[in-house]
């Protein structure tokens, strides 16, 4: 059973998972820090967790000789679903959205605030 055409769209799931993970971590930051330091700490954390997921998924699938686009898509979809449900339940996406709306950057100097 082959999936043609739609299986190539599975490549977007890890990228979307990274974005949702970044929003989740941005919303988890303390309320006192409303400056650009929350962005500086949330992005590297998201990179580290996302890299950990890459290693975990590839190792789990290599144990059962199941590394394929379909199973990678299933695991990334599962991670995306878990992140969306936990972030929605805890309300961290609302906090992240508030931080995104209140952050104004100066494009000429690169300063945020």
Domain layout of the chain by residue ranges = 8-25+37-100
User: Do 102 and 34 meet the contact criterion of CB atoms below 8 Å apart?
Assistant: yes
Cα–Cα distance list, 100 to 39, 63, 67, 94, 96 (Å): 10, 40, 37, 10, 6
User: Do 27 and 88 meet the contact criterion of CB atoms below 8 Å apart?
Assistant: no
What predicted TM-score, i.e. pTM, was given to this entire model? 0.79
Each residue's pLDDT expressed in tens, for the chain with a length of 113 residues:
555 555 567 888 999 999 999 999 998 886 655 556 677 888 999 999 999 999 999 999 999 888 888 888 899 999 999 999 999 999 898 888 888 877 765 444 555 55
Cα–Cα distance list, 102 to 36, 41, 45, 82, 93 (Å): 11, 17, 21, 27, 14
């Amino acid at each position: 059973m082959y999936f043609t055409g739609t299986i190539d769209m599975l490549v977007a799931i890890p990228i979307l998972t990274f974005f949702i993970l970044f929003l989740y971590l941005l919303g988890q930051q303390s309320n006192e820090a409303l400056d650009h330091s929350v962005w500086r700490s949330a992005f590297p954390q998201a990179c580290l967790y996302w890299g950990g997921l890459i290693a975990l998924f590839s190792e789990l699938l290599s144990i059962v000789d199941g590394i394929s686009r379909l199973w990678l898509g299933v695991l990334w979809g599962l991670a995306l679903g878990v992140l969306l449900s936990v972030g929605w339940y805890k309300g961290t996406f609302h906090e992240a959205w508030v931080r995104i709306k209140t952050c104004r950057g100066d494009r000429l100097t690169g300063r945020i605030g």
